[in-house]
Structure 1
Amino acid sequence: MGAAPGARDADAPTEVRADPAEGQRESTRQRVLQVVLTQGPISAARVGEVLGLTAAAVRRHLDALSDEGAVEVKLVAGNRGAGRPSRRYVVSHAGQSRLGNDYLSVAADALKRLNEVAGPDAVRAIARDRFAAVEDRYRETIGTTTSLKDRTAALADVLEAEGFAASVRTVGQRGPSAAKSTLWAAQICQGHCPLQELATDFPEFCVEETELFARLLGVDIRRLSTLPTGGHVCTTHVPLGRDAEA
């Protein structure tokens, strides 16, 4: 006797359908993570402004990302150090490791062997070669730009294209006197380092990168923090005050 129309075989596998709402939540969560990656340390309110989300929605996603260990909170003092520190979000080191660096473990083993056989100079040559692509792309991009501020922005754009999640922030204020102008600076912030696993074991990569930045920008720069040494971002301080066209 045939089954009634519309009846389902009890032994047939149950069809599991994806929840569209869940997929949308995951997509939005990844967008939130990307904003924290590229602009962190960043407040929840600012994430909402960037993505056009309500404060409540942003906090739900940030709480979920925090529970997963992908982001963490950093307390930042106000401009004058007064009042309660504000909460800023950054991608955690565990979150960094989720961004696709598995192949680097093979490269790290190879570099360790190279260091044993040929010494640190050979490792540094590898690091120099790695950053040659950044230098080549920068020189193609820079054109006739002469302002140090614009050159710094161009370098950040190249780093962003190379996967370093780079952005530029201006700190301080340009003043009427040379003394006050020296406090005016740009900071290149790199929220992700595709070479972090290598640079942790081989600081030659950070050394080569720092020397490259100084050479391309033509000024003395300072590394304020790096991901391989425990920072939440790689931050490079570029003094703008003495650049006449900045």
Structure 2
Amino acid sequence: MKNAETQFAAVPQHDGKTRHAVARLLLERGPVTAAVVAEELGISPTAVRRHIDALVADGEATTRDAPRRTQRGRGRPAKLFLLTDAGRARFGHAYDDLAVAALRFLAQTGGEEAVRAFAQSRVDALVDRHRTAIVAQVTPAERAKALASALTREGYAAATRHVGVGEQLCQHHCPVAHVAAEFPQLCETETETFANLLGTHVQRLATIASGHAVCTTHIPNVQPSSAGLAGKHSPDDGGEPA
């Protein structure tokens, strides 16, 4: 029984490795047919189609018809498979390295203020299109929830929860965490902008960039001011920097 359980538990891991190998071949050789993938990997065409179908269902691969170079009858043209942008993302990008290099250059040529100006410009662009909907809310909890919804739409997987005398804004994903680990100005200006947008003092309790699992911001349960439309808070208002 133990051996059977061990074998059963190993199946998903084996499937995962095989699917990754299929995806890599689509990356390196695509557009390519399932038959070619099966031949290259030495596995059955049925197994290859199962993995490709899963990649397509997850939005990581797509299909196109192979061009007809010869008259081979009236059958359907062969299907070619290739990865989508989402599928290529599983193999990583050099975007973080490029962003860090660019900010290092900016710091060397323009100094601290240039980096902070860039960080402020970035977070302004992030929240400005949601500003009206957020400041239209009356209570801190409502504004925090609206901000969380806006951040989720921007890829931050955010949510709020009520704790004690306030709200906690939790961002479960940070697309720039690796860059912010070297340039905490990204986290600092984000915190300042949240305070300005919510119209109240906020405190950053934790960030993914500093090694925590979630970016957590405390929002006290006080009536927000009209500062969400204009005005800035000092850098110290952000609490613990990233």
TM-score band by shorter chain is: 0.5 to 0.7
The answer for the alignment partner of 1:88 in structure 2 is none
Query: Any idea what the Cα deviations from partners look like across 1:161-220, whole Å, max 9, x if unmatched?
Result: 111111111112xxxxxxxxxxx2111111111111211110100110010011011111
- CA pair 211-98 structure 1, distance change in 2 beyond 3 A: farther
Gaps of 5+ in 1: 1-12, 31-96, 173-183
Are residue 230 (structure 1) and residue 211 (structure 2) matched?
yes
Q: Aligned to 1:202, which of 183, 188, 201?
A: 183
The answer for the alignment partner of 1:141 in structure 2 is 133
5 Å matches for 1:97-136?
102-136=94-128
**By how many angstroms is 1:230 displaced?**
0.9
Are residue 191 (structure 1) and residue 172 (structure 2) matched?
yes
Q: Which of 153-162 and 131-140 deviates more?
A: 131-140
Structure 2 residue matching 1:120: 3-state secondary structure: helix
Structure 2 residue matching 1:170: 3-state secondary structure: strand
Q: If the length of structure 2 is used for normalisation, what is the TM-score? A: 0.56
Q: Distance in 1 between matches of 2:215 and 2:186?
A: 13
Are residue 16 (structure 1) and residue 45 (structure 2) matched?
yes
Calculate percent identity across the aligned residue pairs. 39
Gaps of 5+ in 2: 1-38, 59-88, 225-242
Letter matched to residue 17 of structure 1:
T
The answer for the alignment partner of 1:217 in structure 2 is 198
Alpha carbons 1:168, 1:187 under 8 Å: kept: yes
Q: Choose between structure 1 and 2 for higher RCO, CA contacts under 8 A separated by at least 6 residues.
A: 1
**By how many angstroms is 1:104 displaced?**
2.0
- CA pair 16-27 structure 1, distance change in 2 beyond 3 A: closer
CA RMSD of superposed structures (Å)? 3.0
- CA pair 22-15 structure 1, distance change in 2 beyond 3 A: closer
Q: Distance in 2 between matches of 1:150 and 1:199?
A: 28
Letter matched to residue 146 of structure 1:
V
Alpha carbons 1:101, 1:194 under 8 Å: kept: no
**By how many angstroms is 1:144 displaced?**
3.1
Compare CA radii of gyration and give the structure with the larger one.
2
**By how many angstroms is 1:20 displaced?**
8.0
Structure 2 residue matching 1:18: 3-state secondary structure: helix
**By how many angstroms is 1:135 displaced?**
2.6
Letter matched to residue 238 of structure 1:
I
The answer for the alignment partner of 1:168 in structure 2 is 160
Give the paired residue count. Answer: 153
- CA pair 100-112 structure 1, distance change in 2 beyond 3 A: same
